[in-house]
Amino acid sequence: MMRITASGRSDVGLTRQHNEDSYEIDPERQLYLVADGMGGHTHGEVASRTAVDAICQYVVDYAKDGTPPPLPEQDAELSKHLRLLKGAILSAHERVLREIRQDGSLHGMGTTVAAFLVAGESAVVAHVGDSRIYRLRSGDLRLLTEDHTWVNEQVTAGFLSEDQARVHPLKNVVTRALGGEGDLEVDVDEVDLQPGDRYLLCSDGLTTMLRDAEIADRMRRRESPEQVCGRLVAAAQERGGYDDTTVIVLDVTG
Ligand code: CA
């Protein structure tokens, strides 16, 4: 089992009233989550907190029973931890939809999620929307997730550059969200863990303010996860901090 040291931080944007992001660090189950809610009034907060709580609960229930609830047949070949995390996110999606059905005023709320679950020598990563997961290994920063956004589709198709996408007026349009309509597609992947790895989970409040190179610069510092979290959030706010910024930094030691 790898040893993980993690820290998280969430700051409301400089121009906003409510922090619509939520995050959770569960060291016992080695589960790390960042969610970025959307919707009018305080509904973004409700969506992201509902989703984070539901994912944690699902994983806690599994730890008690030892058997993850069944998933659709096409997922049968996924590893146990992949199924567990995917199942947790699908159940959180259902929970958000249920809240909306019970209270019509919540209509339109939704949330992204980026999730990281340690499973022995590897970790399972999963995401929906534009919250991201990066890995710093041997000084190189690599994005492990692909944004589910309209602008990212344009970048992939060659119509926009990364820099144009970061400042595009439609940069906030996500193509997938928990609480959204239709079947939810969750991207899941398994990554090997190596001592010395440093991972970042973050909401787009960070990545619309800072380029990857600027994030890498702070991630490379020989400082604790807590200090790096502080630096990342401070840097986003210095740039204008138009949006809530949430980060979790976790270090892997052998
Ligand atoms: Ca956001």
Neighbours of ion ligand 1 (CB under 5 A): 36, 203-205, 243
**Which residues lie closer than 8 Å to 34 by C-beta, 6 or more apart?**
8, 21, 22, 23, 113, 114, 131, 201, 202, 203, 246, 247, 248
Single-letter code of the amino acid located at 86: K
Kindly give the distance from the C-alpha atom of residue 73 to the centroid of ligand 1, in angstroms, as a whole number: 33
pLDDT for the residue numbered 73:
62
Q: What separation in angstroms does the CA of 217 have from each of 132, 139, 235?
A: 17, 9, 11
For residue 68, report the distance from its CA to the centre of ligand 1, in Å: 31
Give the list of residues 6+ apart from residue 17 with CB closer than 8 angstroms, or none: none
Sign of CA dihedral 43, 49, 52, 55: negative
State the distance from the centre of ligand 1 to the C-alpha of 202, rounded, in angstroms: 10
> What mean pLDDT, rounded, does the chain reach?
93
Q: 110 C-alpha to center of ligand 1: Å?
A: 12
Look at residue 122 in the predicted model and tell me its pLDDT: 95
Please tell me the distance from the alpha carbon of residue 32 to that of residue 7, in angstroms, as a whole number.
10
DSSP for the chain reads: --EEEEEEEEE--TT-SS--EEEEEETTTTEEEEEEEESTTTHHHHHHHHHHHHHHHHHHHHHHHSSPPP--GGGTTS-HHHHHHHHHHHHHHHHHHHHHHH-GGGTT-EE-EEEEEEETTEEEEEEESS-EEEEEETTEEEE-----BHHHHHHHTTSS-HHHHHH-TTTT-BS--BT-SSPPP-EEEEEE--TT-EEEEE-HHHHTTS-HHHHHHHHTSSS-HHHHHHHHHHHHHHTT--S-EEEEEEEEE-
The residue that leads in pLDDT, 75 or 50, is 50
Q: How confident is the model over 158-182, as a mean pLDDT? A: 92
CA of 253 to the centre of ligand 1 (A): 31
* pLDDT band for position 6 (cuts 50, 70, 90): very high
List, for residues 113-148, the tens digit of each pLDDT value: 999 999 989 999 999 999 999 999 999 999 999 999
pLDDT digits (tens, 9 = 90+) for 92-115: 999 999 999 999 899 999 999 999
Cβ–Cβ under 8 Å, residues 96 and 51: yes
> Can you give the length of the chain in residues?
254
Q: How far is the CA of 7 from the centre of ligand 1 (A)?
A: 20
What distance in Å separates the CA atoms of residue 236 and residue 55, rounded to the nearest whole number? 28
Looking at per-residue pLDDT, the higher value among 62 and 7 belongs to 7
**236-250: average pLDDT:** 93
235 or 42: whose pLDDT is higher? 235
Q: Which range among 5-19, 113-127, 202-216 shows the weakest confidence by mean pLDDT? A: 5-19
pLDDT at 70: 66
Ligand 1 centroid from CA 3, angstroms: 30
Residue 196 zone, left/alpha/beta (φ > 0; ψ -120 to 50; rest):
left
pLDDT at 65: 76
**Model confidence over 22-73: pLDDT tens digits?**
999 999 999 999 999 998 778 999 999 999 999 999 999 987 777 766 666 6
Dihedral pair phi/psi, residue 215, rounded to 5° = -65, -45
